């Protein structure tokens, strides 16, 4: 998808985490042609090679878009510090305009384990460090660095899930993490009325995460449920869901802090 949407976000500064594959990669590819000249697209992920490849592809559009990438493991303090430092360095130098931050990075956790198997605090803390702490720290850092100015707008997106609202067997960590993130961003919406906040559940995406869900989930009924989504063609292509998210952002009629599901649109 190119051309048609060029410049819908003039002088925009966009940050996408988990950009090297899956939903984040699809979103970055759709975002790039929509950004006006002088815009910046900052991509964060663990995989340096995959990030560099994507950045090179997006720079080739010839639209005057600046594409930068930061390879960092947001689950460890060193990686989170590197990513936060990049935001503090880049964002204050950007012209007043639009900031869009998409918190997409996330992981499933060990879904072979039931609730009573989760006894190791290091495993649990490590999960929440990546899936909750990093999203909070990066968002607060970005909002501090890209301050409210006349004529500017700031939008924060949390890539959420049905799991933020509904419990799934063997998915203690994932459901807890997603619920925590939703509430975290609802508080942000309450505290900062000038920041647009959206919790977007992209639907069951046809990604490596779904492959893990149908092969590694400890509960047999749950494995069968995920397999049936695949077999009946109910998995959603990342590009289709990313396009819906961009439509939501462009229309900008959602209630700040709301949880909006792919299937609700």
Instruction: Dump pLDDT digits (tens) for 216-237.
Output: 999 999 999 999 999 999 999 9
Of 168, 179, 172, 175, nearest to 226 by C-alpha is 168
What's the Cα-to-Cα distance from 156 to each of 99, 186, 195, rounded to whole Å?
Answer: 8, 11, 7
The answer to whether residue 135 is domain-embedded is yes
The answer to whether residue 133 is domain-embedded is yes
Within 132-198, residue ranges assigned H as helices are 134-145, 172-191
Give the other-Cβ count within 10 Å of 171's Cβ.
24
Q: For residue 79, what pLDDT is reported?
A: 98
Total count of domains within the chain: 1
The answer to whether residue 4 is domain-embedded is no
The answer to whether residue 222 is domain-embedded is no
* Res 244 pLDDT > 80: yes
Q: How confident is the model at residue 9 (pLDDT cuts 50, 70, 90)?
A: confident
The answer to whether residue 17 is domain-embedded is yes
The answer to whether residue 231 is domain-embedded is no
The CA distance from 194 to 151, in Å, is 12
The answer to whether residue 68 is domain-embedded is yes
Give the other-Cβ count within 10 Å of 62's Cβ.
6
Angle formed at CA 120 by CA 158 and CA 131, multiple of 5 degrees: 10
Joined tokens for residue 138: 């990066």
Q: What is the pLDDT of residues 166-219, one digit of tens each?
A: 999 999 999 999 999 999 999 999 999 999 999 999 999 999 999 999 999 999
The answer to whether residue 165 is domain-embedded is yes
- What range does the domain containing 121 cover? 12-203+238-261
Whole-structure pTM value = 0.95
The CA distance from 65 to 189, in Å, is 29
**Which residues are bridge partners to 155 per DSSP?**
100, 196
Q: In this structure, what CATH number is given to the domain that contains residue 82?
A: 3.40.50.720
Q: For residue 62, what pLDDT is reported?
A: 62
Q: Which residue has the higher pLDDT, 5 or 154?
A: 154
């Amino acid at each position: 998808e190119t051309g048609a949407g060029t410049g819908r976000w003039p002088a925009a500064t966009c940050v996408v985490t988990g950009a090297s594959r899956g939903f984040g990669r699809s979103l970055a590819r759709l975002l790039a042609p929509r950004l006006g000249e002088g815009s910046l697209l900052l991509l964060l992920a663990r995989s340096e090679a995959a990030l560099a490849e994507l950045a090179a592809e997006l720079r080739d559009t010839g639209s005057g878009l600046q594409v930068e990438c930061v390879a960092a493991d947001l689950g460890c303090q060193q990686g989170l510090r590197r990513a936060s430092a990049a935001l503090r360095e880049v964002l204050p130098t950007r012209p007043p305009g639009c900031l869009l931050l998409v918190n997409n990075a996330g992981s499933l956790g060990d879904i072979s384990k039931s609730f009573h198997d989760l006894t190791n605090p290091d495993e649990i803390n490590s999960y929440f460090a990546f899936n909750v702490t990093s999203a909070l720290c990066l968002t607060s850092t970005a909002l501090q660095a890209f301050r409210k100015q006349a004529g500017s707008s700031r939008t924060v997106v949390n890539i959420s899930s049905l799991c933020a609202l509904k419990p799934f067997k063997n998915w203690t960590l994932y459901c807890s993490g997603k619920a925590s993130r939703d509430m975290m961003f609802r508080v942000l919406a309450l505290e900062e009325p000038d920041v647009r906040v959206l919790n977007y559940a992209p639907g069951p995406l046809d990604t490596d995460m779904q492959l893990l869900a149908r092969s590694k989930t400890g509960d047999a009924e749950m494995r069968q449920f995920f397999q049936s989504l695949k077999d009946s063609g109910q998995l959603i292509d990342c590009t289709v869901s990313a396009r819906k998210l961009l439509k939501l952002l462009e229309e900008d009629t959602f209630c700040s802090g709301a949880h909006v599901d792919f299937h609700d649109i």
